[in-house]
Amino acid sequence: MSIFHFLASLTHLPRFTCAGRYIGAIYVYNILQCPLEAIHGRESLWHNMIASGTIGYVGVTRGLLGIPFVDVYTFYRYPQLRPGLVAFGVYGAMGGVFGALGGKRL
């Protein structure tokens, strides 16, 4: 079972397990981040940003996650913005902050 099938299977869970989806997203984030570090042989802030941005993109485009810190009306005001790309940016920035707090550098 791939990571994307795992995320897609979470759509059938009841509504009250929203916290479980975020916990699952954090788990998948670590699964994506570790191979990037193994390939390059060092820890980098970019790995955190790419892994968390990917989770945000997939989660929002599949309808599993929301986009924090972004008003819903933003997409009505600016129709050229795509929710998946905005999610990649927001979640990637959040992953970058967490990585920087953990002592990682670019």
pLDDT tens per residue, range 43-65: 889 989 999 999 999 889 988 88
The whole model's pTM is what? 0.77
pLDDT in the model for residue 42: 84
C-alpha to C-alpha distance for 15 and 1, rounded to whole angstroms: 23
pLDDT in the model for residue 1: 57
pLDDT tens per residue, range 61-80: 988 888 999 998 999 999 99
H, E, C per residue of 4-45: HHHHHHHHHCCHHHHHHHHHHHHHHHHHHHHHHHHHHCCCCH
C-alpha to C-alpha distance for 60 and 71, rounded to whole angstroms: 14
C-alpha to C-alpha distance for 8 and 83, rounded to whole angstroms: 18
The domains of the chain are located at 16-101
Q: Is the pLDDT of residue 15 over 60?
A: no
C-alpha to C-alpha distance for 48 and 95, rounded to whole angstroms: 5
